[in-house]
Amino acid sequence: MPPPKDVVKIAIQMVGAIPQLIELQQTKPLASVLKDVCDAWSLPNAEHYALQYADGRQTYITESNRGEIKNGSILRLTTSPDQEAERLYNGIRSNNVDVKTDSLKKLASLSQDVTFAQEFINRNGLKLIFCIVEEGNDSGEILAHTLKAFMELMEHDFVSWETLSAAFIKKIVSYVNMNAMDASVQQLSLSILENMVPSSRLLFDLVKKEVTVDRLLTHLQVTNAQLQLKAMALLIALLLAATDSERRDMMEYLREKNIRQFIHKNIIHSPEPLGDEMAHYLYVLQSVSLNLYDRRMRTSMDPYSQNNSNPAEDLRRAPPGLLALDNMLYFSRHTPNAYSRFVLENSSREDKHECPFARSSIQLTLILCEILHIGEPCSETAQAFYPMFFGQDHFFEELFCICIQLVNKTWKEMRATQEDFDKVLQVVREQITRTLSLKPTSLELFKTRVNALNYSEILKLRQTERLHQEETLAVPVLELRERLKPELLELIRQQRLLRLCEGTLFRKISSRRRQDKLWYCRLSPNHKVLHYGDVEEGVQSPPIESLTEKIPVADMKALLVGKECPHTKEKSSGKQNKDVLELAFSIVYDVEEYCLNFVAPTRYEFCLWTDGLNVLLGKEMTSERMQTDLDVLLSMELKLRLLDIENISIPDTPPPVPKPPSNLNFCYDFSHAEQ
């Protein structure tokens, strides 16, 4: 008989004692449970003790979270949160440096727990931390532990960032602005300021005034990757919190300081691999920079401001608005030879074969705005940026100059007339998107590749794709596809499970900011248990033994995605970030239907994980990636199978089976022999 669902079998440890194996009744008050445990070990004052998980984050067990205890959990009897908070509070006030250091170190660790954090804050513990920082008598290890503890305590949102004193903020700013300062202290100080910036306009103004862009650029040029990352995080936080005019001024100043070239040389092309967090910040910096064109893109020309009515009529459409006019002007001024060649070439053609410069420029500007997502809000999770963006000032304008010449080149190759205008621009869009998908590292490389992808190459690619599609639509081929599908689907299932066994690094995301806390999840090699746990920055593939939290696959009940997930419903704001919704999924497990919530780092990882979890649940894989992989595998397998009949047309119906011959009477009848 299985135990009742309100009873869980657990082990309780204590240093120097034999562990207790008990059946925990979830309906029994926690105080009574503690009394029984303490009595078994002959410990007085049960109210001075508490239970916490022995592994992982070692969270304290309370009446509110006790429902999360699962069968087989290992707990530990330890000092209660209020007693521990009191002990550490007194230890921090000690005149003994070793006691003070150890107390602050333990505080930084325990403050991750919400129950302990509440107890410490209730004792006015934050005031103690403020005093350590404001008095400025401590440095090095003590100061680093103090700032770490402060960050963890503030993470629980018990106290508003706006309540921080001016003296405290000035000290934090001074740590960032000092040249001779411990790197760990500067990293923590930058993180604190990053959290302050989006909290209120007052704090944003204060940080922007006290921490100059020049100072952040100095931190970006250090060899310490973590310090570089935190400096970039604060710079991005300032850009996102700024008004449009402030953002424009900041980006102009960054341009004057050649930040793009520095990023291109020292971060993108650094010997060290680019981390996910830095990739996200570079994506945001690219997005913020390109979105500066949004205002001009949405501003249409006033047709009454000039007498030339036709161009004005064309430019009344917004987008691309006046941005198209800006691009035409840039092209004519900065590449006058190319501009003259464009105009002269077309002036010597017949009218119907003339490529219209203004109309082409307007449509091309619109295409580039769509491809580069100008005017769209920044994603909270995206990491895709164009390396060549950081290698060139006036990237958008220079890209336009290359592509408008491509329009003229493609127009000539297609021998187009005015009626072919839309067709030409469709080919140009395809040329640009296919080339951008190769992620060229410079505009020169982009120019070389996009010009090599001429109209005849586009036709060849289209022809290949069309022939492939026609081949795969023949009735016998379709039947062969259906016969191959089960085997290939099983191959995809095995690949998905192998990917889950390798595991993935996930980030914890709150509504307030993109957090730098990481956790890792992976499937056991026997496909029976999901292991997960928190990890530190820089850990790529932690051993499965270090992931202390577990979910048996047998306990998994369902997979939720997108808006169905509890962590997307919990958001207080009505505006839900589209990217987070597209990457969110949750596992419902155990009889109590707990949820383990995920936000995948990319859409690719989302597809792999949701497919793999569906396989574990015995359900069909449903992601778009599964269909893509299946199509690729089917295509490869079909080509291999059909090699022997290449250039032979396959009939839609099988040839008729011939009639049996008239002398088909030579078969021996075994039935007579059996008689």
Residues 323 and 456 in one domain: yes
**Could you say which of 79, 113, 130 is where a domain stops?**
79
Is residue 301 a contact partner of residue 408, using CB atoms and an 8 Å limit?
Answer: no
Q: Is residue 108 part of a domain?
A: yes
Residues 50 and 91 in one domain: no
454: left (phi over 0), alpha (psi -120 to 50) or beta: beta
202 CB-contact burial (10 Å; exposed 0-12 / middle 13-18 / buried 19+): exposed
Q: Which amino acid is at 498?
A: L
Q: Is residue 106 part of a domain?
A: yes
Residues 193 and 121 in one domain: yes
Bridge partners of 53, per DSSP, are: 75
Give the SS3 label for residue 389.
helix
pLDDT the model gives residue 576: 45
Residues 115 and 16 in one domain: no
CA–chain centroid gap for 119, Å, is 35
Q: Concatenated DSSP letters for 292-316?
A: GGHHHHTPPP-TTSSS-HHHHHHTT
pLDDT the model gives residue 281: 94
Residues 433 and 496 in one domain: no
Q: Concatenated DSSP letters for 356-384?
A: -HHHHHHHHHHHHHHHTTTTSPPPSS---
Q: Concatenated DSSP letters for 437-491?
A: TT--SSHHHHHHHHHHS-HHHHHHHHHHHHHHHHHTTSHHHHHHHHHHHHHHHHH
Is residue 33 a contact partner of residue 27, using CB atoms and an 8 Å limit?
Answer: no
pLDDT the model gives residue 60: 93
3-state secondary structure 135-178: HCCCCHHHHHHHHHHHHHHHCCCCCCHHHCCHHHHHHHHHHHHC
**Could you say which of 584, 609, 627 is where a domain stops?**
627
Q: Residue 49 is part of a domain; what is its CATH number?
A: 3.10.20.90
Q: Residue 185 is part of a domain; what is its CATH number?
A: 1.25.10.10
3-state secondary structure 622-639: CCHHHHHHHHHHHHHHHH
Quote the CA–CA distance of 548 and 544 in Å, as a whole number. 8
Q: Is residue 646 part of a domain?
A: no
Quote the CA–CA distance of 330 and 620 in Å, as a whole number. 54
Q: Is residue 31 part of a domain?
A: yes
Report the candidate in 1, 56, 183, 40 with the shortest Cα–Cα distance to residue 550: 56
pLDDT the model gives residue 92: 94
Residues 34 and 95 in one domain: no
Quote the CA–CA distance of 161 and 194 in Å, as a whole number. 11
Residues 6+ apart with CB under 8 A from 663: none
pLDDT the model gives residue 49: 95
- What is the number of other CB atoms lying within 10 angstroms of the CB of residue 310? 10
Residues 94 and 66 in one domain: no
Domain holding 27, by residue range, is 7-79
Is residue 132 a contact partner of residue 138, using CB atoms and an 8 Å limit?
Answer: yes
Q: Tokens 């445990």 sit at which residue? A: 37
Is residue 182 a contact partner of residue 139, using CB atoms and an 8 Å limit?
Answer: yes
Q: Is residue 585 part of a domain?
A: yes
Reported as a single tens digit per residue, the pLDDT across 561-581 is 988 888 887 654 444 467 788
Q: Is residue 88 part of a domain?
A: yes
Residues 91 and 240 in one domain: yes
**Could you say which of 431, 465, 499 is where a domain stops?**
465
Residues 386 and 497 in one domain: no
φ, ψ for residue 437, nearest 5 deg: -65, -20
As a whole number of Å, the CA-based R_g of the chain is 33
Q: Is residue 476 part of a domain?
A: no
Give the SS3 label for residue 522.
strand
Quote the CA–CA distance of 239 and 248 in Å, as a whole number. 9
Sign of CA dihedral 373, 377, 383, 385: positive
Quote the CA–CA distance of 492 and 637 in Å, as a whole number. 14
Report the candidate in 171, 256, 255, 162 with the shortest Cα–Cα distance to residue 205: 162
Residues 380 and 450 in one domain: yes
Is residue 201 a contact partner of residue 242, using CB atoms and an 8 Å limit?
Answer: no
Residues 6+ apart with CB under 8 A from 574: none
Which residues of the chain carry a pLDDT beneath 70?
1-5, 56, 302-315, 467-474, 509-516, 570-577, 591-592, 646-648, 650, 652, 666-675
- C-alpha distance from residue 474 to each of 186, 466, 470, 486, 629 (Å): 66, 13, 7, 20, 21
Containing 596, the helix (H) or strand (E) segment is strand 594-599
Residues 522 and 615 in one domain: yes
pLDDT the model gives residue 512: 52
Quote the CA–CA distance of 274 and 383 in Å, as a whole number. 11
Quote the CA–CA distance of 168 and 187 in Å, as a whole number. 16
Q: Is residue 288 part of a domain?
A: no
pLDDT the model gives residue 581: 84
Report the candidate in 282, 353, 362, 370 with the shortest Cα–Cα distance to residue 327: 362
CA–chain centroid gap for 470, Å, is 38
Reported as a single tens digit per residue, the pLDDT across 503-547 is 999 987 665 544 557 899 999 999 999 999 888 777 778 888 888
**Tally of domains in the chain:** 4
**Assigned token pair, 152:** 């963890």
pLDDT the model gives residue 181: 85
Quote the CA–CA distance of 68 and 550 in Å, as a whole number. 12
Containing 129, the helix (H) or strand (E) segment is helix 125-135
Per DSSP, helices labelled H in 62-113 are 81-92, 97-110
Beta strand pairing call for 74-79 and 7-13? parallel
616 CB-contact burial (10 Å; exposed 0-12 / middle 13-18 / buried 19+): buried
Give the SS3 label for residue 675.
coil
Q: Residue 612 is part of a domain; what is its CATH number?
A: 2.30.29.30
Residues 461 and 349 in one domain: yes
